[in-house]
């Protein structure tokens, strides 16, 4: 998989950083203004040229570029640490079910045989569906 890239641009003042951030946002980037005159964005695929042109058009310059590992992107996108697992989903009771004596283990174990639900007994009275050459 391809690693995405994080870029940090520095601008002369907070006003130009805000204008650049607005342009980044309009074009689909997810900018974050840091310390007033810095804008942080994440690039996906080959948006580097576009991002540099936007920053330069507002008088900014590239301060830091770093790649982001795939696992970090996944964690950021899905926020796995924030997903609560309710207690009723944990399957501790399954172990005790496996240790019980044989019998009905499944809700369908007491159902009639599988053939009893099939209404077609297979007798058509004319010819079989087999292919003969």
Average confidence (pLDDT) over 2-25: 87
b/e code 92-129 from CB counts within 10 Å (16+ = b): eeeeeeeeeeeeeeeeeeeeeeeeeeeeeeeeeeeeee
Report pLDDT for 109: 57
Confidence of residue 21 (pLDDT cuts 50, 70, 90): very high
Beta strands across the sheet bearing 4-10: 32-34, 38-43, 4-10, 61-68
The model's pLDDT over 68-119, given as tens digits with 9 standing for 90+, comes to 665 565 666 666 666 676 665 666 555 565 666 566 555 555 666 666 666 6
Q: Which fold has domain 4-80?
A: Alpha-Beta Plaits (3.30.70)
Alpha carbon distance 10, 15 (integer Å) = 12
- CA distances to 39, 90, 91, 92, 94 from 86, in Å: 39, 7, 11, 13, 16
Is pTM beyond 0.75? Reply is: no
| Greater model confidence, 92 or 21 | 21
Report pLDDT for 62: 87
- CA distances to 115, 121, 125 from 128, in Å: 20, 13, 9
Q: What value, to the nearest 5°, has the Cα angle with vertex 71 and ends 2 and 33?
A: 85
């Amino acid at each position: 998989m391809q690693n995405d890239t994080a870029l940090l641009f520095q601008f002369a003042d907070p006003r130009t950083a805000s204008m650049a951030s607005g342009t980044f946002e309009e074009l689909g980037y997810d900018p974050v203004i840091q310390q007033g005159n810095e804008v942080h964005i994440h690039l996906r695929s080959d948006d580097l040229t576009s991002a540099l042109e936007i920053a330069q058009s507002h008088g900014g310059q590239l301060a830091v570029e770093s790649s982001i590992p795939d696992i970090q992107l996944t964690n950021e996108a899905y926020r796995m640490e924030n997903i609560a697992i309710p207690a009723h989903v944990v399957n501790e009771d399954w172990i005790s079910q496996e240790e019980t004596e044989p019998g009905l283990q499944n809700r369908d174990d007491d159902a009639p045989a599988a053939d009893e639900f099939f209404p077609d007994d297979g007798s058509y009275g004319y010819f079989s569906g087999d292919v003969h050459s």
